[in-house]
């Protein structure tokens, strides 16, 4: 199921981020009459439809996997967090309806009505993220029920959905989607410029994607800082694993890099900034940070994967912020969107990095919660299926994902080779443009 989620997460991230770019691009076209932005919106709309279809298939597979692989978890949690999953279904169909209106309305709706279709797309995609991530937040901070004789009673679905972790996880997850999508778009057009395409379309598309990324990335870093503070107070085992903190320590250092060694209970070769972890977590340079050694050893995560994933996520975030500042600074200085080969290479490198950071952040969330599937309530090994024959099911799903990835690649290549249309306005026939 981890493979399925890793595959699906990338599509949901683009599905959240791309509607915002459609909203901005067509809004600029509507306001200025610049047909270049209308061409962007039309091409990106077709890509959004393809990605939506692939994401719908992979999401359907996930729903089967929940029942097949985690029956105990489903039985316990279904009545508690089923509500946000049901609402996510409404958000999904809302997005499907307005995406269809958007795709097929180019020659049928007025320019303003067509642009207005992007607003429900932005809202419904963000709402889907809210509902699903709030359920994950509940797994980290269970709420909205009471345990009586091993059973959940007095269930409050709203309290479960609006759990303590929800604001931090939802904000961090949604912003990650905007960051990753913005850099992916900018990276695609950076590659086009490296190949010699200096057209107005490519320059403006690069700038639009980079602008969304440049605004979202600092906000994402702030939300990450707030999330880490929340973890230090509410999931200290996860925070200790993220930081490679084995011993409880006052004035704990912030570790950059390093290799946690569970055998020696130390993090080797890390660059340590004195007292900074204590300050970032508790706003006090001398605050106590609990180490992994202070917890029961059968209730802590393996710090290696958690620490490496956290370091990768943070490092990628700051690298992308630096690239965005570099490219935009050169564009402002030179008064044109042509930063040069080296900055374009750096920008092209960010194309996949946003999604790598999302996967790394997901690793931190899930592996950092181990050995619990529901924090301090149900262990992962208690929730998994005891059924045999799972290997065959895994093989089937792998083949499905290979087919989906191949189909997606072919469709995107076909779209990339398709020439830009003259830029017919919504409400006009193409030959009238």
Per-residue confidence (pLDDT) for residue 154, from 0 to 100 = 86
Per the domain annotation, does 238 fall within a domain?
no
Band of pLDDT at residue 424, cut at 50, 70 and 90: very low
Calpha distance 408→50 (Å, rounded): 7
Q: What is the DSSP letter of 298?
A: G
To the nearest whole percent, how much of the chain has pLDDT over 70?
Answer: 93
Instruction: Give me the pLDDT at residue 420, please.
Output: 64
Identify whether 204 is part of a domain.
no
Domain residues for the domain of 397 are: 1-164+388-433
**Confidence category of residue 386, pLDDT binned at 50, 70, 90:** low
CA distance 169 to 131: 11
Quick: pLDDT tens for 51-108: 888 888 777 777 777 777 788 888 888 888 888 988 998 998 999 999 999 988 888 8
Give the mean model confidence (pLDDT) for residues 295-300.
90
- Res 87: pLDDT: 92
pLDDT (0 to 100) of residue 65: 76
pLDDT at 341: 83
Residue 330 is predicted with a pLDDT of 86
Q: What is the mean pLDDT of residues 401-421?
A: 71
Q: Is the model's pLDDT at 426 over the cut of 70?
A: no
Closest CA to 227 of 289, 164, 183: 164
pLDDT score, position 389: 63
pLDDT for residue 387? 63
Q: Please give the model's pTM, rounded to 2 decimal places.
A: 0.90
Return the bridge partners of 271, or none: 256
Query: How many domains does the chain divide into?
Result: 1
Distance, in Å, from the CA atom of 381 to the CA atom of 73, rounded to the nearest integer, reads 10
Res 428: pLDDT: 47
* Averaged confidence pLDDT in the chain: 86
Exposure b/e, 121-160, CB count within 10 A at least 16 = b: bbbbbbbbbbbbbbbbbbbbbbbbbeeeeeebeeeebeeb
Residue 430's pLDDT is what?
40
Quick one: what percent of the chain has pLDDT higher than 90? 47
- For the chain, the straight-line distance linking the first and the last C-alpha, in angstroms and rounded, comes to 49
Query: How confident is the model over 3-35, as pLDDT tens digits?
Result: 777 778 888 888 899 999 999 999 999 898 888
Looking at residue 6, what is its pLDDT? 78
User: 203 with 338: CB under 8 angstroms?
Assistant: yes
pLDDT digits (tens, 9 = 90+) for 365-383: 999 999 999 998 888 888 7
pLDDT at residue 432, as a whole number = 35
- Residue 255 CA to its chain's centroid (Å): 25
- Locate 93 and state its tokens: 């169909």
Which has more confidence, 430 or 350? 350
Task: Confirm whether 60 is domain-assigned.
Answer: yes
Residue 15 region by backbone torsions, left for phi larger than 0, else alpha for psi between -120 and 50, else beta: alpha
- Asked if residue 74 is part of any domain, the answer here is yes
Mean pLDDT (whole number) for 340-349: 89
Closest CA to 426 of 136, 219, 118, 161: 118
Instruction: Supply the pLDDT for residue 219.
Output: 95
Whether 19 is covered by a domain: the verdict is: yes
Give the confidence band of 433 by pLDDT, cuts at 50, 70, 90. Answer: very low
From the list 176, 175, 174, 182, the residue with the least C-alpha distance to 205 is: 182
Distance CA 40, CA 423 (A): 9
What does the pLDDT look like over 118-172, one tens digit per residue? 999 999 999 999 999 999 999 999 998 988 887 888 889 999 999 999 999 999 9
The strand pairing partners of 374, in sequence order, are 378
pLDDT score of 388: 65
Evaluate if residue 422 carries a pLDDT over 70: no
Query: Does any domain span residue 337?
Result: no
pLDDT of residue 431: 39
Residues 180-209 have pLDDT tens digits of 999 999 998 998 888 888 888 888 999 999
Residue showing tokens 């509902």: 131
CA dist., res. 257 & res. 312, Å (int):
9
CA quadruple 412, 323, 241, 235: dihedral sign = negative
Report the pLDDT value the prediction gives residue 409, as an integer from 0 to 100.
Answer: 74
Which among 122, 120, 95 is positioned nearest to 178, based on CA atoms? 122
**CB-neighbour burial class of residue 292 (10 A; exposed 0-12, middle 13-18, buried 19+):** buried
* Other beta carbons within 10 Å of 294: 16
Q: Does 100 reside within a domain?
A: yes
Q: Is the pLDDT of residue 421 over 80?
A: no
For residue 307, pLDDT beyond 80: yes
User: Do 53 and 100 contact (CB within 8 A), yes or no?
Assistant: no
How far, in Å, CA of 271 to CA of 9, rounded?
A: 32
Nearest to 400 by CA among 7, 50, 14: 7
Domain presence at residue 47: yes
Radius of gyration of the chain (CA): 23
Label residue 233 by pLDDT band (50, 70, 90): very high
């Amino acid at each position: 199921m981890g493979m399925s989620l890793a595959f699906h997460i990338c599509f949901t991230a683009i599905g959240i981020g791309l509607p915002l770019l459609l909203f901005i691009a067509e809004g600029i076209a509507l306001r200025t009459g610049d047909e270049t932005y209308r061409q962007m919106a039309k091409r990106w709309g077709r890509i959004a439809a393809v990605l939506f279809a692939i994401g719908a298939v992979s999401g359907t597979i996930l729903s089967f996997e929940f029942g097949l692989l985690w029956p105990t978890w489903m039985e316990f949690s279904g009545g508690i967090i089923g509500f946000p999953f049901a609402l996510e279904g409404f958000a999904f169909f809302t997005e499907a309806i307005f995406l269809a209106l958007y795709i097929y309305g180019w020659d049928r709706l007025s320019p303003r009505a067509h642009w207005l279709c992007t607003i429900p797309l932005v809202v419904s995609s963000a709402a889907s993220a809210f509902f699903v991530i709030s359920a994950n937040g509940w797994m980290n901070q269970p709420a909205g029920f009471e345990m009586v004789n091993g059973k959940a009673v007095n269930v409050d679905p709203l309290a479960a959905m609006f759990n303590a972790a929800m604001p931090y996880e939802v904000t961090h997850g949604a912003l990650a989607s905007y960051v990753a999508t913005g850099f992916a778009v900018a990276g695609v057009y950076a590659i086009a410029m490296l190949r010699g395409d200096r057209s107005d379309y490519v320059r403006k598309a690069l700038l639009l994607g980079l602008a969304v990324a440049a605004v979202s990335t600092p906000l994402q870093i702030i939300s990450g800082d707030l999330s880490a503070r929340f973890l230090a107070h509410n999931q200290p085992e996860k925070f200790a694993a993220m930081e490679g903190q084995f011993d409880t320590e006052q004035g704990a250092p912030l570790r950059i890099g390093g290799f946690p060694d569970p055998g020696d209970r130390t993090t080797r070769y890390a660059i340590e900034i004195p007292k900074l972890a204590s300050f970032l977590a508790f706003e006090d340079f001398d605050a106590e940070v609990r180490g992994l050694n202070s917890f029961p050893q059968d209730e802590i995560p393996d710090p290696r994967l958690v620490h490496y994933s956290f370091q990768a996520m943070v490092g990628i975030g700051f690298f992308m912020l630096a690239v965005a500042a570099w490219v935009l600074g050169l564009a402002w200085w030179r008064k044109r969107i042509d930063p040069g080969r080296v900055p374009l290479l750096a920008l092209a490198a960010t194309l996949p990095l946003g999604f790598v950071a999302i996967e790394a952040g997901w690793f931190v969330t899930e592996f950092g919660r181990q050995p619990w599937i529901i924090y301090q309530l149900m262990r992962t090994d208690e929730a998994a299926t005891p059924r045999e024959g799972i290997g065959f099911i895994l093989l089937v799903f792998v083949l499905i994902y290979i087919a989906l990835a191949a189909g997606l690649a072919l469709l995107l290549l076909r779209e990339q080779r398709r020439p830009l249309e003259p830029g017919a306005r919504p409400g006009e026939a193409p030959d009238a443009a």
